[in-house]
Amino acid sequence: MAGVDPVAYEIAETMRALQWRLRRSAGAEVEDLGITPAQARALRTAARFPEPPSMGALAERLHIGPRSATDLVDPLEQAGLLRREQDPANRRSYRLHLTAEGERVHAELRRRAQESAVRAFGVLADEDRSTLLALLRRVVDALPDAECPAPADRGQR
């Protein structure tokens, strides 16, 4: 077992606080789009797959159960943002396709997330932001995938 490192613990606690604040502000950012933050996350995640994902693949990427994925996808489908299409390779499976409106909402979510990031990290100088990003990537890359999913847009569309 690794030794106790109070600084490492403080970093982790500060990161949790930062994540909580970022998620909290995201709720206000999607309210007027008629979706919840969890639905926004599901839409963003579905959009990042190179091919339309299955419900199971979406659930796995979100680290939730298939039933919970259905609870997120149903209102997105009702809102006309996603549509389910039967997978031609597996008749028991459905693929999730973003509609034109879903693409528009996804683009708006991305724009808002970028603005939010500028507000949050604008307190740092350009060089400090670059250093922070490099350090955080090293930490993410050192953790097992099961504990730390890949950042949202790193290596994905």
pLDDT, tens only, 83-107: 999 988 888 889 999 999 999 999 9
Percentage with pLDDT > 90 across the chain: 67
**What is the Cα–Cα distance from 75 to 101, expressed in whole angstroms?**
14
In tens, the pLDDT along 105-148 reads 999 999 998 888 898 999 999 999 999 999 999 999 998 875 44
pLDDT in tens, 21-42: 888 877 777 889 999 989 999 9
Is the per-residue pLDDT at 48 higher than 80?
A: yes
Identify the DSSP state of 157: -
